[in-house]
Amino acid sequence: MYATFAPKQTKTSGGINMSFQEIVDLLKELMKNPIKHAINTYLRFWKGITSYLAVGVAFLTFLAINGSIVVGDKSAHEATIHLPQLFYFSIFCLVFLWPYFVSQSLDFLNFIKTHKLVILLFLILGLLIVHYNTLVHPYMLADNRHYVFYIWNRFYGKYAYFKYFMVPVYIFSLYIVIKTIYSSGDASYLMMYILCVFIVLVTQKLIEVRYYFIPYILLRLKTGNRIPLAKFCLILEFLTSLFVNIATLKLFFTKTIMWSDYADPQRLIW
């Protein structure tokens, strides 16, 4: 009787369409030799995670031998809590994905209209974070071979209130980042992305562009064609990357920096 009201096809959690009769046949097959199927399932499970376990064991072995996660000068790379790193990452994404971010600015304005209290709370939280948790690594003030040195000393370090004026931009950028990551509606992916980015970035005192590459690439992969003017945005993104690369190469090959304790000229790079 119940089979009469059963759907013709059922989609399993793996996305495979199965008829009701096929499901019944599968259950019968499992009941014939449950121990064998349990063992096979157990073996498949361990086979699926072997590569991940190998990476984990290799990492723990490295920690045991090296005594730290840091390769190089351990005193210059001590773990800390540096929440503004999330803000700097959002600005990095804004610079290289600005066409996509701008195309969704109206959506952000609509969010402000309908969530004024939420925006106000995040604004206050952002101001408190930059006021109490803005950390400056000594390398950022001393190593003039990197772009961060000039950005920090000409803006953040030069103008006392610049970091506060940037908070609304941080909120906008983070909103677009989170919205883009959650575009597929996968909450678990969003939570894992936030967790991993938090662990990798917030524990770093030094602002390094290379720290942002992997989370940026994951964000870029989530930037689909559903946004307005997607093709036009792609062209603008390409032109932006082309300009940045040309400018980077030009500065590297034409701009030299002389240090008193080094005979060879130093080059300017990320």
- Local structure of 23: helix, strand or coil: helix
User: Tokens for 4?
Assistant: 């009469």
User: What residue ranges do the domains of the chain occupy?
Assistant: 2-32, 76-267
Query: 9 or 122: whose pLDDT is higher?
Result: 122
Q: Does 193 score more than 50 pLDDT?
A: yes
Q: Could you read off the pLDDT of 93-133 as tens digits, one per residue?
A: 999 999 999 999 999 999 999 999 999 999 999 999 999 99
Q: Report whether pLDDT(144) > 80.
A: yes
DSSP secondary structure letters along 146-189: BHHHHHIIIIITT-TTHHHHTHHHHHHHHHHHHHHHGGG--HHH
| pLDDT tier at 228, thresholds 50, 70, 90 | low
Q: For residue 239, is pLDDT > 60?
A: yes
Q: For residue 148, give Cα distances in angstroms to 27, 156, 207, 269.
A: 61, 10, 7, 10
Containing 251, the helix (H) or strand (E) segment is: helix 230-254
The pLDDT of residue 2 is 38
Mean pLDDT of the chain, nearest integer: 86
Weakest-pLDDT range from 34-43, 133-142, 186-195: 34-43
Percent of the chain with pLDDT over 70: 88
Cα 215 to Cα 89: distance, rounded to the nearest angstrom: 9
> Distance between CA 179 and CA 185 in Å, rounded?
9
Q: What is the pLDDT of residues 61-92, one digit of tens each?
A: 998 998 877 777 777 777 899 999 999 999 99
